[in-house]
Amino acid sequence: MFTGRAAVPGAHPSAEAAPGIGSVLRHWRAQMDIELAATRARTVVARCQHSGPLRVQRAFYPESDGTAHVYLLHPPGGMVLGDALTINVDAAPSARGLITTPSAGKFYSVGRSRQSQLQTVSLRIAPDAVLEWLPQESLVFTGANAAITTRVEVAENARFCLWDIVALGRAVGDQPFLAGRCEQRLEITRNGRPWFVERNRLHAGARLLQAPWGMAGADTLGTLIANVSLPRDAREALLAEVQACHGLPHRFSLTQKDDLLIGRYLGPSANRARLGLAAMWAGLRPTLLDKSAVQPRIWET
């Protein structure tokens, strides 16, 4: 979602010959470690360490309760052969933060190589903390070999909302996902115990992509998860509102699994997925956090 392949100060490239390939592979490693901490007046970015082409802009405070809106910034471009990106976020006790990105992430073709493009996000949410992880979509182009992992550790009384959107191929230009793969993994633990685990293996040409029990020919899937409980009538009302939003088609679902609310999108458009999941987030936020949604300003640009 975040990194570009440009000559950026602080980036750490390495090169090695690939077995059986006469070319040289360049590897760009980028890492960002962020800690959000509560002060008397507001949440601040208490620690921000990075290597490679990743930056955090200063926190914004559009909400009266001092919630920090943080934007992860990256150079233009996307992930190519051998790239690896690691994001670690710690929300300290009573911290309140919302993290997003300014644009979609891109995973480009790796040709015939079997080497993966790795993106790993780890979120740790301490007691009484709130973290909303709402990045733009990941675009996985034909020939890519993407491995996208998101891990969330939730402590007692912590609250969270996250979404993850993956689009296969390039809708603009009519370039479908004809080669490559994307392996997507989402793991959520509560008090150290597994709470939600999901793994999607999206391989070009696999039956899963066309089968009615799979993606049914769709190229975009989105998931939203929050630890909030909504009664059935409230879920149905929210889903109807989402489906009516911006004239979106009926490609969304909303289910309750124990204490987790799970929203889904399956369809042809990353933009529609983002609009619909944003509408879900706005609709459930008053119940989750006892306050109305305030969209990050960068979404409007």
Q: Which pLDDT tens digits describe the chain residue by residue (301 residues)?
A: 444 333 333 333 333 323 333 344 556 788 999 999 999 999 999 999 988 888 888 899 999 999 999 999 876 568 888 889 999 999 999 999 999 999 899 999 988 887 889 999 999 999 999 999 999 999 999 999 999 999 999 998 999 999 999 999 986 657 899 999 999 999 999 999 999 999 999 999 999 999 999 999 999 999 999 999 999 999 999 999 998 877 777 789 999 998 999 999 999 999 999 999 999 999 999 999 999 999 999 998 7
Under a CB-based contact definition with an 8 Å cutoff, are residues 289 and 249 in contact? no
Break the chain into its structural domains and give their ranges. 75-300
> Residue 26's pLDDT is what?
55
> Residue 122's pLDDT is what?
98
Rounded-to-integer distance, Cα 186 and Cα 164, Å: 9
Rounded-to-integer distance, Cα 235 and Cα 38, Å: 32
- Predicted TM-score (pTM) of this structure: 0.89
Under a CB-based contact definition with an 8 Å cutoff, are residues 92 and 36 in contact? yes
Partnered with residue 170 across adjacent β-strands are 175
For the chain, the distance separating the N- and C-terminal CA atoms, rounded to the nearest angstrom, is 18
The three-class DSSP label of residue 102 is: coil
Under a CB-based contact definition with an 8 Å cutoff, are residues 123 and 151 in contact? yes
> Residue 12's pLDDT is what?
36
Rg (CA), the chain: 19
C-beta atoms surrounding 22 within 10 Å: 6
Which DSSP symbol is given to 127? T
